[in-house]
Amino acid sequence: MKMFKRKSAGLWIVVIIIILMCSEAMADNTIVTINESETFFAEMNRTMKKNGFRISPDLKRLACFTWSWGKQSIVVDGRRGKEYYDIGYGALAFSPNSKRVAYVAGTANKRFVVVDGQEGKHYDGIHVHLFTLLSGNTGAPDLIFSPDSKRVAYIAAIGNKRLYKYIDGTGEKMFSVVDGKEGKHYDFVCSTIFSPDSRSLAYLAMKGDKYFIVVDGQEGKQYYQIGVLKFSPDSKRLAYIATDTNGKVFSVVDGQEGKQYDNIHSVIFSPDSKNIASIATNADGKIFSVVDGQEGKPYYDIREFRGHNT
């Protein structure tokens, strides 16, 4: 319980204020049992996300969605922001340094991103990642801050009358917006990520029925499906998983295609960025690791080990 003594009492005052102001956002009566400080904060963050809350990375700030007389707003540190016709549920983010806040809001027919209280350009839609792609969800939200907290990126749409829905080939166009600058228009865009050094931006795009990766405006090779997009820790390399029209799956590292398998479950770089590993499946269902192209011993199952803090 030592961590509690080091935490500012102001955090708990904010917790109480925001929970009172945001009681309408609570979907259930979740009870968190405090067994140890680290477990408590992890569980609190999970529960808050489930019920429309967000906690900052430094554990000192809280935010949530509120509804009042048909209007919606964001409450940050107990202070209610401007009321809007609509706010995109799930599209609320703290910057990595916990000093900045961004979210999606809108009028009756337009949507925009609010960063540090300042409204961005209005569009027909702002994409909110609420679904899983057939090609594999990378888990990346579509409104993000760069790791250094200085840049903001999101995905906007024109002609998208469903506002938060992804397009279905009816004429809408989507594009990235980075630091207020619009990228090239595509049929579909999602899974935006910054490199660890915050200098590069990559995302998944689509033309017709083909997917490809765009890195700093440069389009990569087109594939039938793409998923699991990752930068190396040193920001110099990029890897993702692709599928061809025959259903074969392979990793693409620095633009080079690897050996084809029946499936590839993940890709990961080593901390020094020199090596890359993946977990693959062959035709007989055996699973094995692949490190820098070298296959390991096959097994019936391989699980990712995340470790445990005692």
**Among positive and negative, which fits the CA dihedral 27, 155, 83, 93?**
positive
Nearest to 256 by CA among 203, 291, 206, 293: 293
User: pLDDT confidence of 133, banded at 50, 70, 90?
Assistant: very low
Q: Mean of the per-residue pLDDT values for the chain?
A: 77
pLDDT given at position 6: 47
pLDDT given at position 270: 94
Q: What is the pLDDT of residues 43-65, one digit of tens each?
A: 444 544 545 678 899 989 988 88
The answer to whether 260 touches 249, Cβ cutoff 8 Å, is yes
pLDDT given at position 67: 81
Q: pTM of the prediction?
A: 0.76
Where b means 16+ CB within 10 Å and e means fewer, 247-274 reads: eebbbbbeeeebebbeebbebebeeeee
pLDDT given at position 99: 96
Average pLDDT (29-56) is 51
Residue 256 has pLDDT above 80, yes or no: yes
Nearest to 113 by CA among 141, 155, 78, 75: 155
The answer to whether 101 touches 116, Cβ cutoff 8 Å, is yes
The answer to whether 146 touches 137, Cβ cutoff 8 Å, is no
pLDDT given at position 69: 77
pLDDT given at position 239: 94
pLDDT given at position 175: 92
Q: What is the pLDDT of residues 195-250, one digit of tens each?
A: 999 999 999 999 888 999 999 999 999 999 998 889 999 999 999 999 988 888 99
pLDDT given at position 16: 53
Residue 257 has pLDDT above 50, yes or no: yes
Residue 20 has pLDDT above 60, yes or no: no
The answer to whether 239 touches 253, Cβ cutoff 8 Å, is yes
Residue 9 has pLDDT above 70, yes or no: no
**Cα–Cα distance for residue pair 247/240, rounded to 1 Å:** 16
Nearest to 174 by CA among 164, 184, 161: 184
Residue 307 has pLDDT above 80, yes or no: no
Rounded to the nearest 5 degrees, what angle is found at the Cα of 41, between the Cα atoms of 229 and 76?
Answer: 80
